[in-house]
Amino acid sequence: MKDEGMESKLRSEAKALLEQGKVDYIIGFEDGSLKFTTTPLMTSDKDDTSRLVINPFIVNNLSVFLTEVMGRVGIVAKGCDSRSIVSLVQDNKVAREDVVILGVPCLGIIDLGKVEELVGKGRDEIEDIIRDGDRVVIMASGNKREFPTREVLFDNCLSCELPTPQEYDILLGEPTSLADDRERAASQKKIDSLRDMTPEQRWEFWTSEFDRCIRCYACRNVCPACFCQQCFVEETEPQWLSPLPRWQDNLMFQVVRIIHVAGRCTDCGECERACPVNIPLRSLTRGMYDIVDVLFHYRAGMDKEAPPLLATYEATDAEDFIR
């Protein structure tokens, strides 16, 4: 189930980086405490590098930790994560020279929610998940079932524009290819259905989704683009939003958050994955991502020299919305 080649390369490279004093920390993944999970590993101890793993369950965007650690860091980054790092460099939150990017050419991350739904079993009731190219075999209650891999990958992986990091120092494997059109279409299903709705229906949809929100802020806290020390939602003079978890405030919190991360959001999908109450946040973030792309031909985290989206302009920027 593991990618042995990449994993052993990662372990030796990470160890060497620490040994040679090139980095103070390694941020990577180790096996999690539950089946089919991984957990972030942050260490300065070279012996810990033997615990580093690479597998289809390395969900987290580890760049969120870059703004916390001091010193130089070696970080494991999938394509989307590497874009977040670039975006942080653009915003001066990370100095490129302080980061050694251990790039993971990514084949997509498995969405356990989709797996659970496909086999009708909980994650912990599943015996094994084996990915073999574009097929995936799932063993549950002694039954073996096979599905196309695309059916178990996260939506954002299906439309990934950069599976292999463009910005890296060490690439841990052979570059992987882009998602095909069919996969891309599948990833847009939720968004397309939203676009087909009338404004009233869309509004209804979102208000009911955000009625569930408990304001745990996991979406914000897993997001590398949310790098503020104090979030606007915590401001009291003026108080932008009520801290009470009610749909208007919940929804508007997310709307403002997404406006704030416009041009920084790399569609890594972490907000949606972290949400404990299944709010389809990626349908919102991707909506903004597409707006930014269409209006300004700008995709976050692609060019570390570029100024942040809203700190620059073109005289020829779109004017069609101006009356």
247 vs 205: CA distance, rounded Å = 11
Q: Of these, 284, 299, 300, 301, which contacts other proteins (CB under 8 A)?
A: 284
Residues from 1 through 20 that contact other proteins (CB under 8 A) = none
Q: Which stretch binds other proteins (CB under 8 A): 98-106, 158-166, 168-176, 250-258?
A: 250-258
Q: Which tokens sit at 206?
A: 């979102």
> Is residue 193 close enough to count as binding other proteins by CB under 8 A?
no
Residues from 170 through 189 that contact other proteins (CB under 8 A) = none
How many beta carbons lie within 10 A of that of residue 102, not counting itself?
28
The footprint of other proteins on this chain (CB under 8 A) covers a number of residues equal to 97
Locate all alpha helices (DSSP H) within 20-111, ordered by sequence. Answer: 79-90
243 vs 249: CA distance, rounded Å = 8
Query: For other proteins, which is the closer residue by CB, 100 or 225?
Result: 225
Q: Of these, 76, 152, 157, 262, which contacts other proteins (CB under 8 A)?
A: 262
Shortest Cβ distance from residue 144 to other proteins (Å)? 21
Shortest Cβ distance from residue 202 to other proteins (Å)? 3
Q: Which stretch binds other proteins (CB under 8 A): 12-20, 27-35, 74-82, 149-157?
A: 27-35
Assess whether the previous peptide bond of 238 is cis (omega < 30° from 0).
yes
Q: Of these, 118, 178, 295, 306, which contacts other proteins (CB under 8 A)?
A: 295
Residues from 30 through 89 that contact other proteins (CB under 8 A) = 32-35, 37-42, 60, 64-65
Q: Of these, 118, 171, 256, 306, which contacts other proteins (CB under 8 A)?
A: 256
Q: Of these, 80, 119, 222, 268, which contacts other proteins (CB under 8 A)?
A: 222
Q: Of these, 16, 161, 166, 217, which contacts other proteins (CB under 8 A)?
A: 217
283 vs 299: CA distance, rounded Å = 17
Residues 6+ apart with CB under 8 A from 121: 140, 141
| Residue 140 to residues 58, 129, 145, 275, Cα–Cα distance (Å) | 22, 9, 8, 26
- φ, ψ at 257 (rounded to 5°): -60, -45
259 vs 257: CA distance, rounded Å = 5
Residues from 128 through 167 that contact other proteins (CB under 8 A) = none
Long-range contacts of 136-141 (CB under 8 A, 24+ apart): 136/110
Residues from 227 through 246 that contact other proteins (CB under 8 A) = 227-230, 232, 234-235, 237-238, 240-246
